[in-house]
Structure 1
Amino acid sequence: MPKKPRHNSVKGPRLRVLLGASIAIGPGKAELLEAIGRSGSISAAAREMGMSYRRAWLLVEAVNAAFVEPVVATATGGSGGGGAQLTDFGREVVERYRRMEQVAEQSVRKEFVAFRKLLAPSAD
């Protein structure tokens, strides 16, 4: 699967949920979790997103550490192969995050349109 383009231009607000100074979940982590849910694999999800396995693994570890229950469950490789899956809790985390994104976008839509006019043009 080809590498997904990263969007540098400002298209809308991007919600990040902070845990202290670190991001518990944001758009990139949510996208990674959804890719893991589709593929059943951290490495396949990383390839889909155009990131290294190590980066994806570190993000999964950070997300799991940020929540009271594991978001992603992993199985080590071997003759039966490894894999990863979103837990039921992880699916709830992603669903709630996506709903929060929608509510945030709807609530700031008018102001964001006006705010975008204040930004310099993107150098895409």
Structure 2
Amino acid sequence: MSEHEIQKQIMRELSMHHCTVFRANVGKVQMQNGRWFDTGLPKGHPDLYGFRWVDNQVFYIEVKSETGKPRDDQIRFHEFLLSHNVIHGIARSTDARMIVEGGLVGYGYPL
């Protein structure tokens, strides 16, 4: 299954379990007029972010396929989130719900 399909499943699953979820499009694209558009988000920003309705706790989810590995900039962002004890992790399926509901910090990232 593609990361995009996994991402859609995660968004549906979390939305059905009392979370608000946003998809983050990161990067630069060249527009037809030749100018560059930058999303403004920092490099390595996870694919999804949102908050739990029960306590308004923020979370971040990096979506990967079964064999996908985090890039260096994603690991740096993970280290930043880790230093602030923010709920986040790598999800390869709807295991994102376990990360969010369990309040897990750094799930799935290499040690």
TM-score by length of 1: 0.26
TM-score by length of 2: 0.28
Whose strand proportion is higher, 1 or 2? 2
Q: Of the two, which has the highest radius of gyration?
A: 1
Whose helix proportion is higher, 1 or 2? 1
